[in-house]
Amino acid sequence: MMHRTFRLTNLLAAAALLAGSLAAHAQSTQPLVRKDNLVYRGSFKLPTQSGNGFTYGGTAISYNPANNSLFVVGHVYDQEMAEVSIPALGGTSTILQPLRDPLGGKLGNIGGSGSRRIGGSLVYKNKLYVTGFVFYDADNAQRTSHFSRPLSLSSGEVTGPIRVGSQDVGFHSGYMGTIPVEWQSLFGGPALTGNCCLSIISRTSYGPAVSVFNPESTSQTATSLVHYTSDHQTLGTYGASGIHPVFNGTTRITGVVFPNGTASVLFFGMTGVGNYCYGEAAECNDPSNNSKGEHAYPYRAYVWAYNANDLLAVKNGSKQAWAVTPYQTWELAEPTNVVVDFGIGGATYDPATNRVFVIKKGTDATPTVYVYEISNSAAVVRPNTPTSVNAQ
């Protein structure tokens, strides 16, 4: 009997090992999303509201499958969040939950001083998760970043802030997204969290950064999958003159999407595609931004596409987080009129329809949401196809 039990145990272990190996092989051979796969379908507007409303806002967007709706942050001064409907393309959203403080006055508890902003939001298992960051953290004093609350913005307890991960908070206090089910056991968690390109660049990543974490956990566990430090500026040297659209001082990354059925992790944001220049707008030939500072006119909405297998290699210890580079980068067809302060406010994903929602911040008008679809009919390539970091 003992030999029979031992043999059965070994067979079960071998079967589990084989199943894991087959699953890993299935993921490693899933297609990569390329520029032609991300098809623009149209746009819609957020509604006009009394007071500040959504003007000078449109950030930290997340998709809510329960209502086929979006959570989004309004005016930059208020840092209030609303839930809005997704109308027909060309239409205008309606308000499902009005603008309110989603953190119950707790945003200031993240540490540091000065202006604090909501960095990202995520709907996961019928809860709303929210991150916060200090806009200009000169002393790198922020210590916590992640909150959770019920999906109702008018009731329920706000939990947090807590710290996730051992890195500086500036590496993960922004955008969030979910990991497809078939990849979760390999990565050791169900969700992604990251941040990039904040003021005082040394406290954050010099390019796309993301870590795997479990939103439901109150521990400080998070594993970096890609990031770039001052000692490892793989995508481009900060402040270097010339044309460096993949990363320069004007680059902003505000969203991450890991589409189902693919091996692609897509970062969304904006970047300057002209010559990098620090100085007055006139001397840097930048008609869109009259402030003294960093310029690389003109500016474009942009995608940085990474192979999930490369990120998995980082998680498993066979690659360094800064050794990973995008397999392709490209400009988005829409929006076309982005500038440094009014670029891409975030991106989120509806797995049921393969739609990606990309929001452009508003100025004196309300923000616009641009809808893309990941098309299976477009040509795809398999993982590990050689491409340049600067591929367009």
Residue 27 belongs to a domain: no
Residue 263 belongs to a domain: yes
Give, in degrees to the nearest 5, the angle at Cα 389 between 376 and 37. Answer: 10
Q: How far apart are the C-alpha atoms of 24 and 304, rounded to whole Å? A: 24
Residue 17 belongs to a domain: no
Query: Per-residue pLDDT for 288 more than 70?
Result: yes
In sequence order, the β-bridge partners of residue 122 are: 129
Query: Per-residue pLDDT for 2 more than 60?
Result: no
Query: Per-residue pLDDT for 392 more than 50?
Result: no
The full DSSP string for 172-218 is TSS-EEEPPHHHHHHHTSSEEE-----BSGGGS-SS--EEEE-TT--
53, two tokens: 């409303």
Residue 346 belongs to a domain: yes
pLDDT of residue 218: 84
Residue 242's pLDDT band, with cuts at 50, 70 and 90, is very high
Residue 231 belongs to a domain: yes
pLDDT of residue 10: 53
205, two tokens: 């990543």
pLDDT of residue 20: 47
Q: What is the pLDDT of residues 300-348, one digit of tens each?
A: 999 999 999 999 999 999 999 999 999 999 999 999 989 887 899 999 9
Q: How far apart are the C-alpha atoms of 319 and 316, rounded to whole Å? A: 8
- Tell me the residue range of the domain where 330 lies: 32-57+165-374
* Residue 384: exposure state from Cβ atoms within 10 A (0-12, 13-18, ≥19): middle
pLDDT of residue 292: 93
Residue 202 belongs to a domain: yes
Mean pLDDT lowest for which of 123-132, 267-276, 283-292, 371-380? 371-380
pLDDT of residue 16: 44
| H runs (alpha helix) in the chain | 2-28, 181-187, 308-315
pLDDT of residue 243: 97
Q: How far apart are the C-alpha atoms of 380 and 32, rounded to whole Å? A: 6
Residue 76 belongs to a domain: no
Please state whether the peptide bond connecting residue 298 to the residue before it is cis, i.e. omega within 30 degrees of 0.
yes
Give the chain's length.
392
Decide: helix, strand or coil at residue 98. Answer: strand
pLDDT of residue 367: 96
The full DSSP string for 126-169 is TEEEEEEEETB-TT--B---EEEEES-SSSS--EEEE--SSS-G
pLDDT of residue 364: 75
Residue 380's pLDDT band, with cuts at 50, 70 and 90, is very low
pLDDT of residue 388: 36
Residue 102's pLDDT band, with cuts at 50, 70 and 90, is very high
Q: How far apart are the C-alpha atoms of 190 and 335, rounded to whole Å? A: 30
Q: How far apart are the C-alpha atoms of 362 and 383, rounded to whole Å? A: 37
Query: Per-residue pLDDT for 240 more than 50?
Result: yes
The DSSP letter of residue 80 is -
Average pLDDT of every residue of the chain: 90
Residue 7's pLDDT band, with cuts at 50, 70 and 90, is low
Residue 96 belongs to a domain: no
Q: How far apart are the C-alpha atoms of 387 and 310, rounded to whole Å? A: 14
Residue 29 sits at φ, ψ, to 5 deg, of -105, 5
**What mean pLDDT is predicted for residues 181-193?**
98
Q: What is the pLDDT of residues 26-51, one digit of tens each?
A: 467 899 999 999 999 999 999 999 88
Give, in degrees to the nearest 5, the angle at Cα 148 between 152 and 186. Answer: 120
Minimal CA–CA distance to 356: which of 303, 310, 300?
303
Number of structural domains in the chain: 1
- Contact present, 249 and 239 (Cβ < 8 Å): yes
**What mean pLDDT is predicted for residues 141-167?**
96
